[in-house]
Structure 1
Amino acid sequence: MNQFIALVRKGNVAPSEILCIGMLLVSLSLVGCGGKLGSIEISAVDTAISDAEAAIAAAVEADAPTLASDLFETAQANLASAKIALEEKKGNEALRLAYQAIANATLAQTNSMNITKNSELNTSILQKEAEAESLRATVNSKKEELAGLQSEIQDVQSEGTQLKQTVRDLEKKNRELGDTRAAYGEQVAQLSETLEEIRGRARRAETEIRNYGREVAELRRKLDVADRRVQEEGYQKRTVIAEIDSLRRQLREQAQIYTEKLAEASQQNAGAKHAEYLKQKAQEARAYVDSQPQLHPTKTGRIALSAEQIAAGKMALSNWERAWQAKDLNGHLAYYEPNIIADKVVIHESKEHRNKIDLQQLEADLHQMGTHAWSKAKSDTEVEGESVIGIHRLTRLATPAADENATELYNIWIREVWMHQVGNDWRIHHEIWQIYENVPNF
C-alpha cells in the first residue's frame, strides 16, 4: 500500500513557535512600559519594519501566498498595521506589529518549504513505487520465460536420452554386421582362391590343346607332302606308302591324344562352371548375411572403462552367476535391463534356428533351462568399450554312450553377457545364447 507524507496545513503553527512569539510580545510590552526608555526610537521601528518586509519577500520566494496563505496574509496585515501605527506615533504598537509580521512571514516561509519538500518527497516515492512495480512485472515476466526455458530444456534432455539409446542400438547392430561380414569375407576369399586355381588349370589345358592342334596340323602337312611324292615318284611308291602308314598311325595317335585333351578341357570347363556356380552362391550367401541381423556385437578392442569400473563390472557378473547357481531366478533376472532383447540360437543336426526374445520370454526360457542339471565347463571375461562381457560355457549329458566304441553326446549352452554401468548399478543390455544339441563334448 502506498504511503504518503502528510502535508502541513496552511496556517498550522508549532507550539514551540507560538511560545517564541509569546515571549517576543511580552518583551515588547515590557519595553513599551518601561519607565527607563520612556519611548521607542523611530530607527528601531524602521528596522523592524524592514526586517518584516524582508521576511515577507522571502516567504513570497517560498510560494507562501499559495502554500501558507493564512499566515502570509496575516504577516502582510501586521506589516500594514505596523506602518499605520508608526505614522500615528505609536512606537510600541508599531514595533509589536512589525515583529508579529516577521514571525508570521517566517512561519509562512517555513510551512511553504516543508510543504514543497513533502510534495517532492511524495512525488519521488510515487516514482520509485512505479519503478518497483515495473521491476516486479519484469521479474514475473522473466520467471515465466525461465519456466518455459526449463520445460524446453527438459524436453531436449529427454530427446537427447532417446537419441543416445538409438545411437547405441545402431552401433550394436553395426558391430554385429561387421562380425558377420568378416566371417563371410573369409569364406568368399577361400572360394575366390579355389576359382582362380580352377581357371589356371583351364588356361593350361587350353594351351596344351592348342599345342597338340599344331602338332596334328604338322602331321597333316607331312602327309600331304608324302601324297605329292607318291604322285611324283612312282618308283618309290612302296617306301612312301610305308611312310604314309607310319604318318597315319602317328596321326591316329595324336588324334587320340587330342581327343583326350579335349575331354580334359571339357572337364576343366565344367570345373570353371562349377567355380562360377560357387561364386554365385557365395554372392547369394553374402546377400543373405547382409539381410540377417548380426548375432555378436562388433568387438573393437577399445576400452572406455577405468580399472575400478572394470572391477565393479566383474563383481556384478560374479553376483549374477552366483544367483543362477543358487537357483535364485529373481535375483538372476534383477541384473537385466527391462527392455533387453536377447539373441537365442539353437543348433540341431547342423541346422541353425535364430530367435530374438524379450525379458518375459527370457525368464520363461531360463526357468525351463533351470530344470536341467548343467555343469560349468568354462568361463571368461572381456572388456569392450563401456561393457564388461562374461562368456560362460555350460554342458549336460544328453545321450550316454551305448558301448565303449560309441560317443557320448552333450547339450552345450554358451551364454555371452554384455553388462554396462547404469548410474551406480551394472545392468545387462545384451545376451547371446548358443545351444548345441546332441553334439560331442568339444
Structure 2
Amino acid sequence: MSSVKAIRSQLLYFVDDPATAGDSAWIYHADGILWIEDGLIRMAGDAAEVLLQLPSGVEIEHFDHHLVIPGFIDTHIHYPQTEMIAAYGERLLEWLETYTFPVESKFGDSEYARQIASFFLDELARNGTTTALVFGSVHPESVDAFFAEAQQRNLRMIAGKVMMDRNAPDYICDEAQQSYEQSKALIERWHGVDRLQYAVTPRFAPTSSDEQLQLAGKLLCEYPGVYMHTHLAENTEECQWVAELFPEARHYLDVYDRAGLMSRRSVFAHGIHLCDDSCKRLSETGASIAHCPSSNLFLGSGLFELDRLTEQGVSVGIGTDVGGGTSFSMLQTLADAYKIQQLRGRKLDPFRALYLATLGGARALDIEDKVGSFQRGREADFVALDLHATELLKFRTGQCKTLFETLFVLNTLGDDRVVDTTWVMGEAIHKRRAV
C-alpha cells in the first residue's frame, strides 16, 4: 500500500543555475503543496492546483511561516574532525600537524568511530543537510562505522577512506598497496548499497606518493561510478610544496590528471589558487569544485573566484569543510560565501547561493536526477526553514518586500535554529524542540 504525505507552505526549488538561466532557474509557490508518495516527489505546485488532484483523506501538514526547500547538499566535509572544530591559531599545513592528524588517529577504534559518526549525522540533520560528500580517516573502520550509521538513517551519503602514505606521522599513514586493497574492499562492501556511494579519497597530493595516486586511478577504472574526492589549491604554501614534490607536473591539478583522477565524478575541495589551464581542464572533464568559504576564512587560505570558474564552465558546490569550517550550518556557510565575494568586489545573490547549496550541489555530485529539487520522481529529502525562528529574523523578514530580500536575510541571519524539520525520503528525521 502506498504512503502519501502532503506539506503545505511556501515552496522554493531550482531547475537550473541562476547565473546562466536568470529568473527561469527557480520555481516559487507562495502557497504551495509538496505531495510525496512512497518517499518520492509526486508533485510540487500551487495549493489550489494540487488540492484538485491530491487523493481524498490525505492529511496535510501546514507550515505557516516557513520556507520549504530541498535538503542542503554539503560537497566537502570531514566527519573525523568533528571534535576539533574551532581549533585555534594555525594555517593549513600547521593545522594538519597540530590538530588533524592526532584527532584522526583515534578512528581505528570502530566503536569510537561509530559514536562520532552518529553525532556527526545528527548534527547534519539538525542543520538541514541531507546529503554530503565525506572524508573518513585513513582507517577502513572509520568508513565502515560511517556507512553503518548513514544506512541506519536511510541517508544519501558518499564517503571514503583517506589514502595517505607519506609526509605525515607514521601513526596516521597507510601504504600504497594497502590503501588500494582496503579501498577496494570498502567499495565492494558499500558502493551502491541502499543510498550509499563510495569516494576514492587521497587526502591531497603532498601526502600521496606517485604509486598511491596511480593506484587511486586504477580503482576509478576498475569501478566506474565511484567518486574521487580530494583537496586542490587551497593554500599558497601548499601549492608551492606541490610544485617542489612534483616538478614534472605543469600545475597542481596536473598531478591528479596524470594519475587518471579526472572525471565527471571527481570533486576537488577549495580550488582557490587555480591557473587558466586548470579551470579549462576541470570544465573539459566535468569535474567539480567544492567551495568552502568558512574554512577559507578561518584558515586564511584566500578568496574564491566564483565568477571566474562559472564563466569557464566549472561546476561548483558548497562545502562546510568541518573541522576547518566552523559550522555545520549551510546558511552560515552561505553568509561567509557572500562576504568572500564582497571582499573581491563581487556579489553573490541569494538565489544563486541557495542554488549552490541544493541543486548546484547535486549537479556537482552528479546526482541531480535523484536529489536537489522538487521535480517529479526525485527523492523526498527536504527541509522546512522557520522564518520566525528568532525574534530578530521574525522582525527582519517582516520588513522584507520581495522574495529576494527575504532569502538574503535568511542566508545572512540564519543558522541551525531556522531548521524546523528535516525529512529524508519523506520521513522526518529531525524536528526542532521548542525552547
Q: Does TM, scored on the shorter chain, surpass 0.5?
A: no
TM-score by length of 1: 0.19
Relative CO higher for 1 or 2, CA cutoff 8 Å, sep ≥ 6? 2
> Please, what TM-score do these two structures have when normalized by structure 2?
0.19
Higher strand share: 2
Relative to its length, the structure with more helix (as a share) is 1
Larger radius of gyration: 1
